[in-house]
Every structure is written in C-alpha cells, then in structure tokens.
Amino acid sequence: MQNRKEEFGWQTLKEIWNNSGHGRNINIQMDRLLDELKAKTSKFEKEAIDSDLALLRTNWSQTKGMVSQFEKDAINKDLSAISRLLRRLFGIFSGNKR
C-alpha cells in the first residue's frame, strides 16, 4: 500500500517535471546556429578560459596566505635541489662536448 502510494507520488513528480519543459517553445534555426557557433566559439572558449583563470586566481589568493613557512621552505629546498641537479647535468653535457 505504502509502495503504491509512493509510486503515485513519483508519477506526479514526473508529470510536474515533464510539464516544466512546456512553458517555452525552443526554435533553433540550424544553419544560422552553425554559422554563429563557428564564428563565436573561439571567443567563447577564450572567455571560458579567462573565467577559469579568474576562478583560479581567486582560489589562489585565498590559499596563498594559508601556505606555512615550513611549506615555503620545503618548496625552496626542492627547487634548489632540482636546479643543482640541472646545473650538474648541464656541466656533464658541456664537458662531454669539449
């Protein structure tokens, strides 16, 4: 009985959902749309990237202040180890060339 009652309720929700698409007719002029999309997508993509970058910048500015001195020191240490290694490698290669 409970299941039957629930099922009826779910069907009602589906009807509400289906009716929600009936408020507007969506007319698409396909040829024109394709022309517009071809002309606009590169601009659209650029804007999407800009918007993502803005989001990253906002998140970074919130995160930046939360990076501890310990983490900064660890990153500096890693970076200097990598640059030492690269210098040695360059040294080896330039030595071999001579």
Residues that bind other proteins (CB under 8 A): 6, 9-10, 13-14, 16-17, 19-30, 32-37, 40-41, 44-45, 51, 54-55, 58
Supply the minimum distance, in Å, between the C-beta of residue 60 and other proteins.
15
Residue 46 CB contacts under 8 Å (≥ 6 apart), including other chains: none
Is 24 or 98 the residue whose CB approaches other proteins more closely?
24
Is 26 or 95 the residue whose CB approaches other proteins more closely?
26
Residue type, 59: N
| Rounded Cα–Cα distance for residues 80 and 10 (Å) | 63
Supply the minimum distance, in Å, between the C-beta of residue 65 and other proteins.
20
Residue at token pair 């001195």: 69
Supply the minimum distance, in Å, between the C-beta of residue 80 and other proteins.
37
Is 41 or 83 the residue whose CB approaches other proteins more closely?
41
**How far is the CA of 18 from the CAs of 10, 27, 50, 60, 77, in angstroms?**
12, 18, 36, 42, 60
